């Protein structure tokens, strides 16, 4: 039987020929899943022969990957801000840059007691659950239109032992129309909404176009549909000096800042991601 190292080397070459980015990383992570070990442990197993069932499972993974199915969907999970999250094609795969958004929010608000936080469009629950765990005195409400997605988010909360979180299965636009009750007044409103315009959607990566849920990627409009709705309505459900945090696409910062200014937000701050791209924006309710 071929050894772990032999299969990894052949798979790396094959993935590279098929245009898969970071082919060795992909080969390693798929193998680690098959062998139920950490990637680091593979280096101690290079001479281990693969069993027939392990080899067949690995080959199936490779066949799926060369069709550009995302690695995270193949293995069924992803690491995010210290969480192990289940992901399926029903939810957007959490991105590394969104971890920075969580870090910014935690650092700016960790000294405020009893925070009430609303996450609009929670998807897998990555932002909601990360904030609930990092800010243990907080109450987090996670809203999501997709029933399938919200079931995954609930599972992720349970699997990661996070209890200070509740879920609402609702459309964002409907939620704003029924948001005047005292229990729906928040300190923070957060969202990583669909922000790829309908025009740009056809140019996104193959993995995204083929496999990730389109409603989590594009607004089927100009890329500002959800941002503008949140900026326009969040003030109605925010406490005075409450904050809105939004993730955005490259080049959207100028218009979003103008939107916030026109709605009376102050202390508007734009943050760059790890690639020095303006990726997040914050506004403070001041009137």
The reply to whether 127 and 266 lie within a common domain is yes
Residue-wise pLDDT for 220-271, tens only, equals: 999 999 999 999 999 999 999 999 999 999 999 999 999 999 999 999 999 9
CA distance 17 to 68: 13
Write out the DSSP string of 166-233.
EEEE--HHHHHHT--SGGG-EEEEEE----B-HHHHTTS-HHHHHHS-GGGTB-SSSS-HHHHHHHHH
Q: Treating both helix axes as pointing N-terminal to C-terminal, what angle do 23-34 and 4-17 enclose, rounded to 10 degrees?
A: 140
The reply to whether 108 and 234 lie within a common domain is yes
Residue 184 pLDDT > 90: no
The reply to whether 46 and 99 lie within a common domain is no
CA distance 143 to 129: 12
State the CATH number of the domain containing residue 11. Answer: 1.10.8
Residue 4 pLDDT > 80: yes
State the CATH number of the domain containing residue 201. Answer: 3.40.50.150
- Looking at residue 179, what is its pLDDT? 52
- Looking at residue 177, what is its pLDDT? 76
Number of domains in the chain: 2
Residue-wise pLDDT for 8-20, tens only, equals: 999 999 999 999 9
Starting at the edge strand found earlier in the chain, the sheet holding 165-169 runs 165-169, 139-144, 116-120, 186-191, 238-247, 278-285, 265-272
CA distance 252 to 192: 13
Residue 215 maps to a domain: yes
Residue 63 maps to a domain: yes
The reply to whether 194 and 131 lie within a common domain is yes
The reply to whether 61 and 193 lie within a common domain is no
The reply to whether 48 and 148 lie within a common domain is no
The reply to whether 94 and 135 lie within a common domain is yes
Q: Which domain holds residue 267?
A: 90-285
Prediction pTM value: 0.93
Residue 81 pLDDT > 60: yes
What average pLDDT does range 138-145 have in this prediction? 97
In terms of Cβ atoms closer than 10 Å to its own Cβ (0-12, 13-18, 19+), residue 128 is: buried
CA distance 85 to 71: 14
Q: Are 55 and 11 in contact (CB under 8 A)?
A: no
- State whether residue 83 is helix, strand or coil: strand
What average pLDDT does range 46-68 have in this prediction? 97
């Amino acid at each position: 039987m071929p050894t772990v190292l032999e299969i990894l080397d052949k798979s790396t070459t094959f993935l590279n020929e098929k245009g898969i980015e970071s082919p060795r990383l992909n080969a390693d992570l798929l193998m680690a899943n098959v062998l139920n070990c950490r990637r680091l442990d593979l280096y101690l197993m290079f001479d281990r022969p693969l069993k027939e069932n392990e080899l067949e499972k690995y080959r199936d993974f490779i066949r799926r990957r060369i069709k550009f199915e995302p690695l995270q969907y193949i293995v069924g999970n992803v690491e995010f801000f210290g969480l192990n999250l289940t992901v399926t094609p029903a939810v957007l795969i959490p991105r590394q840059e969104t971890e920075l958004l969580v870090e910014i929010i935690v650092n700016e608000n960790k000294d405020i007691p009893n925070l009430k936080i609303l996450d609009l469009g929670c998807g897998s629950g990555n932002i909601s659950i990360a904030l609930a765990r990092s800010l243990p005195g907080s109450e987090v409400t996670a809203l999501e239109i997709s029933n399938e997605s919200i079931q995954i988010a609930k599972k992720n909360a349970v699997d990661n032992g996070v209890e200070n979180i509740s879920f609402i299965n609702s459309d964002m636009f409907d939620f704003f129309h029924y948001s005047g009750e005292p229990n729906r007044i928040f300190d923070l409103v957060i969202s990583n909404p669909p922000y790829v315009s309908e025009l740009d959607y056809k140019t996104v990566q193959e993995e995204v176009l083929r496999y990730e849920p389109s409603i989590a990627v594009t607004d089927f409009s100009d890329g500002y549909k959800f941002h503008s709705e949140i900026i326009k309505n969040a003030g109605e459900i925010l406490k005075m000096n409450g904050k809105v945090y939004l993730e955005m696409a490259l080049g959207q910062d100028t218009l979003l800042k103008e939107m916030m200014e026109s709605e009376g937000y102050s202390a508007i701050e734009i943050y760059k991601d790890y690639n020095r791209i303006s990726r997040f924006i914050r506004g403070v309710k001041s009137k």
